[in-house]
Structure 1
Amino acid sequence: MDFHCHLDLYPNAREVYREACLRNTFTWLVTTSPKAFEATSRVLGASPKVLITPGLHPEVAQQKVGELDLLLEQMAGVKAVGEVGIDGSSRHRASFELQCSIFRAVVERSKSLGGRTLSIHSRQAVNEVLNELHCQPGYGTAVLHWFTGTATELRTADRMGCWFSVGPAMFTSGNGRAIAARLPRNRVVPESDGPFAKIDGKSVLPWSAERTAKCLADVWLVPLDEAQKLLADNSLRLLNLMEVC
């Protein structure tokens, strides 16, 4: 399974899509904008094994803010939304307030619809993301993608019941491995974040869950089969929460 993948953005997207349908029981294809969601849904088509969801990536907030109303409209017809969130890195500081207002609108809309599962980007903005979620109880389920926050922020996210999607590229740094070791083991699911996530210069592919299990087994100091079972059990529980299976 893969709970966060930009499958539509691989250079050979159709081929990767077909292969993911063969190899994975579930792939969550997150899009970067509402119009990208429409185009991807049209070009790649529907599959019971691939969930395509609308999003508005914080890195393109300035370029895509005009599509926010479309996203809020699309949310009525889906059970999950992504990629959304806030990016507090220096590269995107100029749009920070705009990002926050967009994410707030998404979370408010999620609550008004009875709850949605959100795949959330929170680079250098974990506190802001968690504050928005805290202000809207009933928003649904948060899946923090590639979490890079502090130990204190992780404890807060854990107390709030957030889930965490992690992929093999997270384990290429010491900080990533240290964070993964502290994640709540009952709320971790696999992701690839391909094609953006890379290892040795090569994009991680959507069928990387086995590699993620091996990485988690190493940092959790458990046998591989135990890590595999945890990921499998967690994945099924999250799918039930998402109501997409």
Structure 2
Amino acid sequence: MISNLVDFHCHLDLYRNHAAAVAESERLKIFTLAVTTTPRAWPRNQELAAPTKYVRAALGLHPQLVKERAHELPIWREYLARARYVGEVGLDAGPAFYASFESQRKVFETVLRDCADQGGKILTIHSVRAAKVVIDMIEALLPPTRGVPVLHWFTGSKSDAARAAKLGMYFSINREMLRNERHRSTVMSLPLDRLLTETDGPFAKIDGRDARSGDVAMTVEELARLRSMPTAELTGVIAANLKRLTTT
């Protein structure tokens, strides 16, 4: 088993046994960011993560749920002072969710402004078909000294990625991104010092089953091969990136 693995975006509370999923990440010593899709889910995630060494809980309001859950934004704001990690948040302009895009923008604007006001937050951000808008909003509303964005499962263009990296953003990479030729090309263009890894389990699948945090090892191995680097070296780079991210 590769050591020092990072799963920076995983929905641990959506597995059949939430507590067992947390315990598995802890047992495998994988730094796992347990993202939430609604602020109502955060207290239980925080309760399970708090006594662990390797699991952290993120406070989210998923853009795909904004149509039904925008009224929970005050709950998100209430919990924010107690949460260092924020996510899953962001924008989704895909066909199934475009009708709520303006509401999503308003929620995301509040998220970014509140994070900037409080400072010190680390955000994992959804940007499906909305990379430019997401980057524009982050640049305008979240100064680099007030928080650090991590673009989760980024599918924007190379120019969007280069701009985001220049603005100090990180990227969390999963196995599915490396299996798509266009996305793989974008990943290969990213600076090494901005890379993290993720599974996005259980939404992402591995050979037809739900991806789990331990599967992030496959992503590291494949990314190392594509980068012509020893796996141990790349693992060290990602661990160093995580340390820099979480200690700034």
The TM-score bracket by the shorter chain reads over 0.9
Range that drifts further, 219-228 or 190-199? 219-228
Q: In 1, are the aligned partners of 2:10 and 2:199 still within 8 Å (CA)?
A: yes
2:103 to 89, 98, 118: 98
TM-score by length of 2: 0.91
Number of residue equivalences: 241
Give the Cα–Cα distance (whole angstroms) in 1 for the partners of residues 202 and 183 of structure 2: 19
Residue 169 of structure 1 and its aligned partner are, at CA, apart by 2.4
Query: Is the partner of 2:73 in helix, strand or coil?
Result: helix
TM-score by length of 1: 0.92
Structure 2: segments with no counterpart, 5+ residues: 1-5
Query: Is the partner of 2:56 in helix, strand or coil?
Result: strand
2:197 to 171, 176, 190: 190
Identity of aligned residues (%): 35
The 1:202–1:20 alpha-carbon spacing in structure 2 relative to 1, beyond 3 Å, is: same
Give the Cα–Cα distance (whole angstroms) in 1 for the partners of residues 186 and 16 of structure 2: 31
1:83 to 84, 88, 105: 88
Structure 2 matches for 1:138-177, cutoff 5 A?
A: 138-177=145-184
Give the Cα–Cα distance (whole angstroms) in 1 for the partners of residues 122 and 226 of structure 2: 27
Residue 133 of structure 1 and its aligned partner are, at CA, apart by 0.8
Q: In 1, are the aligned partners of 2:46 and 2:56 still within 8 Å (CA)?
A: no
Matched, 1:119 2:135: no
Range that drifts further, 211-220 or 55-64? 211-220
Cα RMSD for the two superposed structures: 1.6
Q: In 2, are the aligned partners of 1:123 and 1:148 still within 8 Å (CA)?
A: yes
Q: In 2, are the aligned partners of 1:143 and 1:163 still within 8 Å (CA)?
A: yes
Q: Deviations over 1:4-30 (max 9, x none)?
A: 110110123222221111102421100
Residue 44 of structure 1 and its aligned partner are, at CA, apart by 6.8
Residue 46 of structure 1 and its aligned partner are, at CA, apart by 3.8
Structure 1: segments with no counterpart, 5+ residues: none
